[in-house]
Amino acid sequence: MIRRTFIALVSLSVAALFSPIALAQENHVAEAITHTRQAVDAGLEGKADGVVEHGKEALTHAQAAQKEKSNRFVRAGIVHLKQAIKFGEKGDAKGGVKHAKEALAKLDHAPH
């Protein structure tokens, strides 16, 4: 009886240690999606600086998610986020929106 209780406690402890890792990865993808949507919204309003601001925040979260667990959808989203930022920095809100929407489509397919 004591042995079973000990094994159960050890199993629960190990599970508790690894669950934050999975949650952190999911949170980064969700945050990247949220900021990418905000970048799209800003771009649709003609605010290229908003595309840059939210695009950079989305990129930070997407890169963190990619570091935690490599994923082809996140990787593709990162490529488009970089392009959205590049267009936004040039003052091209419309071009930024195009790439932000592509990034959003990729990130939506990533596990989260």
Per-residue pLDDT of the chain (112 residues), as tens digits, is 676 654 544 555 555 555 454 444 458 999 999 999 999 999 999 999 999 999 999 999 999 999 999 999 999 999 999 999 999 999 999 999 999 999 999 999 998 7
Q: Which residue range forms the structural domain that includes residue 81? A: 2-109
- How many domains is the chain built from? 1
Find the CATH number of the domain harbouring 53.
Answer: 1.20.120.660
Q: Residue 70: which residues within 8 A CB-CB, separation 6 or more? A: none
pLDDT of residue 48: 97
Residue entry with tokens 């999606």: 33
